[in-house]
Amino acid sequence: MSTQKQADNARSRETKTFDVVVVGAGFAGLYALHRLRGLGLSVRAYDGADGVGGTWWWNRYPGARVDFPSAPFYGYTFSKELLDEFDWEERQPSQPEVLRYLNFVADKLDLRSDIQLSTWIEEAWFDEQAERWHVNTSTGEHLVTPFLLCAMGSLSDTNKPPIRGIDDFAGELYHTGRWPQEDVDFAGKRVGVIGTGSSGIQSIPVIAKQCAHLTVFQRTPQYSIPAGNRPVRPEELSDARENWEQYKANMAVSSLGMPYPMSERSALEDTPEQRDALYERLWQEGGLHMLFNSYFDLLANKEANDTLAEFVRGKIRHIVKDPDTAEKLTPTYILGTKRQVIDDGYFETYNRDNVALVDLKTDPIDHITANSIVTESGEHPLDILVLATGFDAITGTLMRLNPRGRGGVDLEERWQERFNSYLGMMIPGFPNLFMVHGVESPSVLFNMPLGGEREIDWILECILHLRAAGIGTIEPAPGVDKAWSKNVDEAASQTLFHGTDSWYSGANIDGKHRQFIVHLGGQAYFQHLKDIAAGGYEGFVFGPAASEVLEASGG
């Protein structure tokens, strides 16, 4: 829609003004709201869901759990009270548990009065003269604000694969990332799952136990490792509470924001026997430690990586009884360069009589009918189809909103050739629009609650700086985005990530730019953010406050 049409549309709506509008009420949105309110700013958070929680509101598919290691560290770090007063129950908390935590936080911080749920942000455009963002909501409001803070989540724009006939399916169709509120009854049903990323691998064992028959449609096999989930021990909770400062100090130096020291040993320093003994211990223990805390060079050195890849391949062949199925489940890509998956009995599931695997590499889907998936080799009748096919990650949600920045240029046009940003925080030509976990920030490859806190702290400081200095706008200076993209590319090229098709590089969405969109700098990235602020926001340009602009133009 053109800016003029948007403005006409806005005139018929109720107008509300805020110092900051926050989009999203997940981990990041709740924290932003809390901090902004604490600074005395008028702020409101909007979310399309009927409850707080963001990702954890929508992803309620069976088996959904946190993969980050682990409770009680998958949570906010800014408040010791939150840690002290919430008793995490499981080491890899389930989706209902994380949602309970976020609801506890919303209540404890008394956030609900400034959150508007069941409200989608549908349009956003920047009025250059007044230096205000205008926002239309699905509930008929028109919001006006100098600052738009987009905390919309990295993995929220679901990917419905463009398979011929998918809309003809007449059975029950679900996407893991938009799972219904009500329980899905699998009993007695023939179920198909397309996709074997984290969502597929977590849900498949649970669905298999409930349904009559499950067919898994796999395009790429995964190096899934056991989650090792178990109840959190009381002494673990008290240890975290007593030694909180030490854990925070660990997180402050860990390249992934983890609470534990990371290994400084190369996989190639150990003998094969030593390596296998370590891998075996970590396999039994479970969790992402196996990738991140065994050896430091698994994601940087192919030879080192091969040692763990071969260990996991051996486990798959050992667990899965049918050699043909085991072979289809055995991955060959570089371990860890797709998002590492952890599971609860995934490979064991293929030993069940009611589970079949279709390898789409050798037997691709031709089309979907009202009651089946037809692959090259034949028809697979289904009552329920589950799409565990992931997301248009990181860029998808903002692109769907398609805000209009300076000169009426919308984001689709701005990102026509490449997703560009400065610091992963701001987009050239979009003044005062901040992203949290945005494109070219560390987002999904850092402890997300912690990374979100740090990014939001930076944004707040920036807003305070602008207000104190009477500055109207901030935006990236011409050209800095190119240097930033180069920086992101260079960081990725020093790792093994470049060799694999993944959603980190846009490869999962037809027509998406093939570009590595995650900054791998970890701690160094956050230090860089601090340095930029301390140095007077190098790389940004400021605009005078709107009143001065109007005076100068005789307005």
Query: What single-letter DSSP state applies at residue 236?
Result: H
Q: Does 220 engage in binding with ligand N01 (CB under 6 A)?
A: yes
User: Candidates 127-135, 199-207, 288-296, 453-461 — which segment interacts with ligand N01 by CB under 6 A?
Assistant: 199-207
In the list 41, 112, 130, 161, the residue contacting ligand N01 (rule: CB under 6 A) is 161
- The backbone torsions φ and ψ at residue 540, rounded to the nearest 5 degrees and listed phi first, read -110, 155
Nearer to ligand N01, 155 or 401 (CB): 155
Count how many residues are written for the chain.
Answer: 555
Question: How far is the CA of 143 from the CAs of 13, 16, 66, 368, 436, in angstroms?
Answer: 9, 5, 35, 43, 20
As a dihedral over the C-alpha atoms of residue 376, residue 381, residue 385, residue 390, rounded to 10 degrees, the angle is: -20
Q: Does 90 engage in binding with ligand N01 (CB under 6 A)?
A: no
User: Candidates 96-104, 207-215, 296-304, 386-394 — which segment interacts with ligand N01 by CB under 6 A?
Assistant: 386-394
Spatial separation of the C-alpha atoms in residues 526 and 251, rounded to whole Å: 12
User: Candidates 260-268, 307-315, 387-395, 534-542 — which segment interacts with ligand N01 by CB under 6 A?
Assistant: 387-395
Q: Does 197 engage in binding with ligand N01 (CB under 6 A)?
A: yes
Question: How far is the CA of 529 from the CAs of 66, 430, 536, 543, in angstroms?
Answer: 27, 19, 11, 21
Q: Does 442 engage in binding with ligand N01 (CB under 6 A)?
A: no
Nearer to ligand N01, 32 or 66 (CB): 66
Q: Does 390 engage in binding with ligand N01 (CB under 6 A)?
A: yes
CB of 544 to ligand N01, least distance (A): 42
Q: Does 226 engage in binding with ligand N01 (CB under 6 A)?
A: no
Q: Does 508 engage in binding with ligand N01 (CB under 6 A)?
A: yes
Q: Does 194 engage in binding with ligand N01 (CB under 6 A)?
A: yes
Query: What single-letter DSSP state applies at residue 48?
Result: S
User: Candidates 39-47, 140-148, 197-205, 318-326 — which segment interacts with ligand N01 by CB under 6 A?
Assistant: 197-205
Residue nearest to ligand N01 (CB): 197
Q: Does 368 engage in binding with ligand N01 (CB under 6 A)?
A: no
In the list 199, 254, 305, 349, the residue contacting ligand N01 (rule: CB under 6 A) is 199
CB of 94 to ligand N01, least distance (A): 10
Pick left, alpha or beta for residue 492 (phi over 0 → left; psi -120 to 50 → alpha; otherwise beta): alpha
Q: Radius of gyration of the chain from Cα atoms?
A: 24
Closest CA to 347 of 318, 324, 316: 316
Q: Does 360 engage in binding with ligand N01 (CB under 6 A)?
A: yes
Site for ligand N01 in 42-71 (CB under 6 A): 64-67
Do residues 539 and 512 make contact, with C-beta atoms less than 8 angstroms apart? no
Angle at 223 between CA 275 and CA 153, to 5 degrees: 120
Nearer to ligand N01, 65 or 414 (CB): 65
Do residues 151 and 436 make contact, with C-beta atoms less than 8 angstroms apart? yes
Spatial separation of the C-alpha atoms in residues 211 and 489, rounded to whole Å: 45
Site for ligand N01 in 393-412 (CB under 6 A): none
Q: Which amino acid is at 226?
A: P
CB of 99 to ligand N01, least distance (A): 13
Positions touching ligand N01 (CB under 6 A) are 64-67, 155, 161, 163, 176, 194-200, 202, 219-220, 339, 360, 388-391, 444, 503, 508
